[in-house]
Structure 1
Amino acid sequence: MADIVTEEPEHEPTTYIDSAKEKISEIFDRDDSSSSSDSDAKTKDKKSFPVPSNKNTTSWKDKPVHSLLGGGKAADIFLWRSKRKSMAILGFATIIWALFELIEYHLLSLLCHILILVLGGHFLWSNTLNLFYRCPQFPQVAVEEETALQVALVLRLEINNALEVLREIAAGKDLKEFLAVIAGLWIVSIAGSCCSLLTLVYMCFVLLHTVPLLYERHKDKADVCLEKAEAEFKKQFDVLQEKVLSRVPSLQSKDKKLA
């Protein structure tokens, strides 16, 4: 009988111990990768949300008066940097105020008289003077479309900004600002009952040409007075808040919700 030869495999299969070791190493590798990914995510979150810096913003007292007025040509006129323009504008405003308030000249009469002078000058220019002299044509006056659109856009932006500011004030988020606006409107209403609108506008115009210049020249003394006035205003506001505003139920409910 032929002998049956059993062939042994060259590579023995892996034992249970080796397979268990491989599974344990895979589990540890997964844990290490997850922990490293978590740490990377945390570092990314820290990087993506930077800590805000505690830099103190400069107050309006530290800024120059020219920048407080917005800069540009308007600030130069109010601070008398260009004296000829400032004197011309202030003189023109004084003439207009004197015509309507002192002489009691009416706006409609002024417009009609200006149109009479313009039409009479144009008639003399085009008919009479050309008989004796070779005069150039009378200049044409027209408003360009670009300038009209620019003026309309500027007015639209300013009106929208003013409405947005009024909406924020009326929302009552800043109580001090709300009370300050109410007090300012009340003072303006009292001044409006004492004088006309033109006189009030002229007084504001004169103050714009005098107060910034005096403040720039005597800034140190004015800052001391303003600090005293600000401290007194804060004291009076605290008294008002303790005696009146703390008893209002709507404000108390808002404070509880915020707390």
Structure 2
Amino acid sequence: MADPMTQSSQISSSQGLADGQNSAAAKDSQFSDSFLSSSPVSLIQSPQAKELVYWRDPKKSGVVFGVSMLLLLSLATFSVISVASYVLLALLCVTISFRIYKSVIQAVQKSNEGHPFKALMEKDVSVPPETFRKHVDVCLTYINRGLKYMSRLFLVEDLVDSLKLAVVMWLLTYVGAVFNGITILILADILLFTVPLGYEKNKTQIDHYIDIARTQINTTVAKLQEKLPGSLKRKAE
């Protein structure tokens, strides 16, 4: 006959495991719902990135936008190896020219200022292990949640969500037939530096139309879900 204490311990352990699984599923569901319901502008979390895309400093944002567009346009025309080689070659030409210029000036003026890049060379450019591990842990958390959510979609845990993904992938086939990867990146770069600023200036009107569209979509999905067999309906939270 089994010991009552042992049975109680096994029941508590199984309940704890079930609670942990339910908690993990709830976190995954919360992650997917918040990701799908949030606007693209709200996905920008970094303060530095927000300052750039909202053009808080027009000079800095203009430089970043110009450099990124130039790089993408170069990649659209030349290979990645050629672009990387030209960029590094241009950087070397600038530093070597400046080094020779400063050496000539020091020889003419008979000064002993030393290496012009001495202050930069003395700076510690290494990445601290704590900072690296912190960013890796944060990235790993999002990657694991994303992989978990994608497995739920591709293994059809929820038929409605999987059908949504199928529709998106079907639409992307038409996008891929019209644009290549570099063209999409160029359009994304342009939208990144224009949409947030336009959204900020017309936030009330845009949110109103987004809420209307979201309500219509949710209503349509709910009607379709009601027509599904009971075994295929969305599981209750």
> Considering the TM-score relative to the shorter chain, is it more than 0.5?
yes
Q: CA deviation at 1:146?
A: 2.5
Measure how far apart 1:152 and its partner are: 6.1
The amino acid of 1:200's aligned partner reads I
> Within 2, Cα distance between the matches of 1:187 and 1:141?
52
Deviation of 1:166 (Å) = 3.2
Structure 1 residue 157 and structure 2 residue 138: aligned? yes
The aligned amino acid for 2:83 is L
CA contact 1:78–1:208 (8 Å) conserved in 2: yes
Matched, 1:109 2:82: yes
Q: In structure 2, how many angstroms separate the alpha carbons of the residues matched to 1:125 and 1:183?
A: 56
Long gaps (5+) in structure 2: 1-33, 108-112
Separation in 1, partners of 2:198, 2:95: 46
Q: Which residue of 2 aligns with 1:83?
A: 58
**1:238, 1:145 → 2: CA distance?**
53
Alignment of 1:230-249 (within 5 A): 230-243=214-227, 246-247=228-229
Count residues with an aligned counterpart.
Answer: 190
Note the C-alpha offset of 1:91.
Answer: 0.9
Q: Can you list the C-alpha shifts for 1:72-130, whole angstroms capped at 9, x where unaligned? A: 121121112221121111111121122222xx122212233344445556666667874
CA RMSD, Structure 1 to Structure 2 (Å): 4.0
User: Residue type of the partner of 2:189?
Assistant: F
Q: Which amino acid aligns with 1:166?
A: L
Cα 1:97–1:71 change in 2 (3 A) is closer
Tell me the alpha carbon deviations over residues 135-161 of structure 1, each in whole angstroms, 9 at most, x when there is no partner. Answer: 742634998443577346524531441
Cα pair 1:99 1:105 within 8 Å, conserved: yes
In 1: Cα distance, 2:179 partner to 2:124 partner: 35
- CA distances 1:9-42 after superposition (whole Å, capped 9, x unpaired): xxxxxxxxxxxxxxxxxxxxxxxxxxxxxxxxxx
Distance 2:178 2:44 in 1: 29
The residue that corresponds to 1:191 in the other structure is 175
Of 234-243 and 86-95, more deviation after overlay is shown by 234-243
Q: Distance in 1 between matches of 2:84 and 2:142?
A: 33
User: Given the two structures, how large is their TM-score scaled by the length of structure 2?
Assistant: 0.60
* Residue correspondence of structure 1 range 139-154 to structure 2 within 5 A: 139=117, 140=121, 144-147=125-128, 150-151=131-132, 153-154=134-135
**1:92-103 equivalences in 2 (<5 Å):** 92-101=67-76
Inter-partner Cα distance in structure 1 for 2:124 and 2:184: 31
Gaps of 5+ in 1: 1-58
Structure of larger gyration radius: 1
Q: Distance in 1 between matches of 2:55 and 2:44?
A: 13
The structure carrying a bigger helix percent of its residues is 2
Partner of 1:251: 232
Distance 2:101 2:202 in 1: 59
Aligned to 2:22: none
* Structure 1 partner of 2:152: 171
Q: What is the rounded CA distance, in whole Å, between the counterparts of 2:165 and 2:53 in structure 1?
A: 24
TM-score between the two structures when normalised by the length of structure 1: 0.56
Q: Which has the higher contact order (CA 8 A, sep 6+)?
A: 2
The answer (yes or no) to whether the contact 2:54–2:196 under 8 Å persists in 1 is: yes
**Deviation (angstroms), 1:167:** 0.7
Distance 2:66 2:125 in 1: 29
Distance 2:197 2:105 in 1: 53
1:214-225 pair list within 5 angstroms: 214-225=198-209
- 1:80 is paired with a residue whose SS is coil
Q: Structure 1 vs Structure 2: percent identity of aligned residues?
A: 19
CA shift at 1:240, angstroms? 2.6
